[in-house]
Structure 1
Amino acid sequence: MPLLNSELNIQESPAPMDDAAGNILASLGRVRLVDLRACEGLPTDTYKICVSTLTQSLAQYSAAIIQLPPTEGALLRSGLDSARLFFHQRGYSSSEAVHSDDAREWCKTSGYYVDPQMWLEMYDYRPGVTVTEPNAAMELPPSGLPDMFAVLGKVSRDVLDAISFSLNLRSCAFTDILDNIPLRSQEVSSSVLSACCHSRPSFEGAQQHNIASQDDGQLLIFSDQDQQMDKTLLTLVKSDRSGLYVKDMHGRWILVDGDLGPHDVVVYPGLALYHETAGYVNPAVYKTEVGNLQGCMFGRCSLVFKLMPRSVARLSGSEMRAAGHGVDAQFQVPIPVNDFMQTGHSVDQLFPKDTEPSSHAEHDSASFNSVMKKKNGSTRTKPLPPSKRLRLEAQRVLKERVQDIADKKGIKLRFCNIKECESHIRSLDSPCESIRTEIGWPQGVPFVHPHDLPNKAKLGFLEAYEPGWTASQQEMELSFTEPQ
């Protein structure tokens, strides 16, 4: 099914599961939800074909299209109309609450907020949270959110079941890391449904944008954060206008919502599923077009459902090991979901440009089953590559040393953008100077999340908080090369 990779880098793209003709999918896979829902007993041929189409599409395009039954599709279209009206009537001012980048708040977002860099307004619906405005009045949300949350939550779990079937996992293999159905008393949902509005003409928060490419003489305008990955298990998107691009197995940007029917939604995997499947399902890298909406008074509205692991769970890949799959060393240590959500994951570092999937991958004749057999049993622990070890060590030192210093001094860490901070460290009056001084941040190292530092700067960061770290690592490397 999905692309196999190790050391958090895409290395080579084996052919996806063969379809009936043994051919690679020519376009994004489209399956009907009624055919994808599992039933008791032996799988039908229709179910197997749908699972094959879904998993091939996720492997090749990192996305697929799910066709919902008419009643559920009508509910989502009604929800889009309600969201459009909600944002149009609400108005916007620069005093509105800006979306917080604090990763510790990942499972608490609710209500209305804006993201000026993304030209984006959102209303988050999270079961278990009562939303109030600053004046303590109840905020009236777009209508139908609870019903749409229930529909899209069920769809995403059906897709997860199909993925587990393709990987030969037990039924409901992901149940332990998902929220209860229904939620227990006092529980708050980890998953969230967002009604979104991009580039509404009355939105004044965003002034800058990037011109990403040119197509048929028209400029395509994307948000400043033009490459993103969700930390979800799965993300489902229903939009009223096209504009969602996902990177395929060859590194090309594919418009995935340009040909959606009235009952269709786009689904793509996130980083949590990548970790829980030990790298067998790659996360989608995506970006959203925010330009070319001239004459549209409502902007681009969409419904985005994010299926999240519950906050107290651990991502461990245990189901993959139980099914006999080989699990690389980097996935063998369980990760608490809260730690995972607070860890930075850069697209360029997870998938460096020089390790993009090669163009000859589509000619690979290996089937999905043969790929799985190659990986099965491959559980030998190997020393991590230097770049990966640096990332993990930088994250560890941030959590154990730097955060402890900040907590003791009552400092809230808000890291800079790396490009901006290169000028900060040369300035005598920089916005981050006082924080850097108080926590002993090394001279000459930009004040950004250590995960995002260049490798040379990571070494300086590690040596500042753990003197002698480099020498100890050299001794460790020698121990791996010495004969046993």
Structure 2
Amino acid sequence: MGAMAGNNLPSLGRVKLTDLIASEGLPSDSYKISVSTLSQSLAQYSAAIIQLPGNDGALLRSGLDSARLYFHQRSSYSAAEMVHTNDSREWCKTSGYYADPQLWQETYDYRPGLTPTEPNNTMELPPAGLPDVFALLGKAARDILDAISFSLNLRSSPFTEILDNVPLRSREISSSVLTVCCHSRPSFQGAQRHGLTTQEDGQLVMFPDHDHQADKSLITVVKSDKAGLHIRDFHGRWILVDGDIGPQEAVVFPGLALYQATAGYVSPALHRIETGNLQGNMYGRCSLVFKLMPKSMASFNCSEMAAAGHGIEAQFQLPIPVDDFMQRSHPTDQLFTRHSFPNYNFTAGQDGSLKPLLKRRKNNTRCKPLPPSKRLRLEAQRVLKERVQEIADKKGIKLRFCNLKECEGHLQSLDSPCGSIRMEIGWPPGVPFVHPHDLPNKAKLGFLEAYEPGWTASQDMENQPL
């Protein structure tokens, strides 16, 4: 990720879906440039904007209109329709209407192969056009997944074995799901708004109690009728990603399943919905959310990543059944984050064509455990991040880390944006105020000693062979 510093995208990457569709033979220049833009945008912002063909945009607008009418005509919900968030076993079986009063959110899950019914066993009339929207966004998500595979130098369609059949076979139920969402509908009966309020850039912003979440999908594609989707970028800042998207554009971001399938090379997006700007709106905020999911009977393994020459950390070396992975909790502060998502700078070669400058990790090994020194550095990074955050939380400080190059100038300035934060949390003098993963390896260990004296010695004792 450090190599990307001089080539950052100034804003969220915009890519035409038609330019991401692979074709036989050599990749075109437009394909390689689009893949480069997509991969850089996912690395910097954990999201990108996909431009769909004009006719597809009309279908999405129609789907959103239908969603507004569907939720507006519902006057109440029953106890049977309440979301049970602790029942992770139902991750691939949800279908029909659900309500979450705490988040002031209603959803309708469309899952081909399942026929939703009301609690009294009567047929429920769903929003219109869902099969067509499902097919449209499902195809887009698969094309995007293949483009990410190309950027990682994987073979064609490497995730086919963990995806549903196209089309589904007889009696198969779709693992992927199209969710129609409605946030903050004023006529939502019994809902009580629980929000937290933060002050950002002088504006009052309200978010639900669950401040942020990460989807368990491979790829998520979102089209909303109103802005409000915030995603955390590489620097830890929350970015409004759907503030200026056009009628035929949608937001795409990776989920936890892709993070696992790529051995951590593609980080999942952390996202949250703004609900403080909908006062007086009779319909609330409606969204079409397609989640490309792995099938429950498959397993995650990183053999494709290893075959492409990528280093595989110890925690990704053992296969994990998809169903087990989906039923586990995944605290976002414990995710192993790589900051080396390939940055393909496609430049003109001597033959006039565009060639990717591939970056591969040194000493690539397929199943070799991490050496003690590497495990020590990774553990130091994790503990250091926790200690710094713990101090900030106790003092009520909101951390905003600097760019490494910019902060070198901050250290020489008497009135710098990070000066007071560095002083309050005891940041060592002369060290740029950057996220712990940006510190050099030796600095990670030495820096941690300032917060927890004797830590390195204790870890050395634990890593000694018995």
* TM-score clears 0.5: yes
Taking structure 1 as reference, are residues 82 and 208 closer, same or farther at Cα in structure 2, changes over 3 Å only? closer
Decide whether the 8 Å contact of 1:237 with 1:267 is kept in 2. Answer: yes
> What is the aligned-residue RMSD (CA, Å)?
2.9
- Residue 368 (structure 2) pairs with residue 380 (structure 1): yes
Q: Which residue of 1 aligns with 2:465?
A: 482
Q: CA deviation at 1:217?
A: 4.5
Is the deviation greater in 125-134 or in 377-386? 377-386
Residue type at the aligned position of 1:29: G
Pick aligned residue for 1:127 from 112, 117, 127: 112
Q: 2:231, 2:22 → 1: CA distance? A: 28
Q: Which residue of 2 aligns with 1:72?
A: 56
Pick aligned residue for 1:137 from 112, 117, 122: 122
Q: Which residue of 2 aligns with 1:192?
A: 177
Q: CA deviation at 1:135?
A: 1.4
Q: Which residue of 1 aligns with 2:3?
A: 15
Pick aligned residue for 1:279 from 255, 264, 268: 264
Identity of aligned residues (%): 64
Q: Which residue of 2 aligns with 1:313?
A: 298
- Residue 78 (structure 2) pairs with residue 90 (structure 1): no
TM-score (norm 1): 0.72
After superposition, where does 1:170-319 map in structure 2 within 5 Å? 170-215=155-200, 217-319=202-304
1:87 alignment partner, SS class = helix
Taking structure 1 as reference, are residues 356 and 289 closer, same or farther at Cα in structure 2, changes over 3 Å only? farther
Decide whether the 8 Å contact of 2:80 with 2:119 is kept in 1. Answer: no
Residues 305-342 of structure 1 deviation map (CA, whole Å, 9 limit, x = unaligned)? 00000000101111101112111111000000010001
Q: 2:212, 2:285 → 1: CA distance? A: 19
For structure 1, which runs of at least 5 residues remain unmatched after alignment? 1-12, 392-475
For structure 2, which runs of at least 5 residues remain unmatched after alignment? 347-355, 383-458
Decide whether the 8 Å contact of 1:199 with 1:291 is kept in 2. Answer: no
Residue type at the aligned position of 1:119: W
1:127 alignment partner, SS class = coil
Q: Which residue of 2 aligns with 1:25?
A: 9
Residue type at the aligned position of 1:333: L
Q: CA deviation at 1:372?
A: 2.7
Q: CA deviation at 1:24?
A: 1.1
Is the deviation greater in 114-123 or in 364-373? 364-373
Q: 1:248, 1:203 → 2: CA distance? A: 32
Decide whether the 8 Å contact of 1:117 with 1:225 is kept in 2. Answer: no
1:99 alignment partner, SS class = coil
Q: CA deviation at 1:103?
A: 0.3
How many corresponding residue pairs?
374
Q: 1:262, 1:366 → 2: CA distance? A: 30
Q: CA deviation at 1:371?
A: 4.3
Taking structure 1 as reference, are residues 186 and 159 closer, same or farther at Cα in structure 2, changes over 3 Å only? same
Q: CA deviation at 1:482?
A: 3.2
Decide whether the 8 Å contact of 2:13 with 2:48 is kept in 1. Answer: yes
Pick aligned residue for 1:149 from 131, 134, 145: 134
1:163 alignment partner, SS class = helix
Decide whether the 8 Å contact of 1:237 with 1:305 is kept in 2. Answer: yes
Q: CA deviation at 1:151?
A: 0.5
Residue type at the aligned position of 1:76: L
Q: 1:241, 1:205 → 2: CA distance? A: 24
Q: 1:356, 1:162 → 2: CA distance? A: 19
After superposition, where does 1:380-459 map in structure 2 within 5 Å? 380-382=368-370
1:114 alignment partner, SS class = strand
TM-score (norm 2): 0.75
2:30 alignment partner, SS class = helix
Residues 233-281 of structure 1 deviation map (CA, whole Å, 9 limit, x = unaligned)? 0100000000000000000000000011010010000011001001110
Q: CA deviation at 1:148?
A: 0.5
Q: 1:273, 1:479 → 2: CA distance? A: 33
Q: Which residue of 2 aligns with 1:45?
A: 29
Q: CA deviation at 1:387?
A: 10
Q: CA deviation at 1:94?
A: 5.8
Q: 1:72, 1:228 → 2: CA distance? A: 28
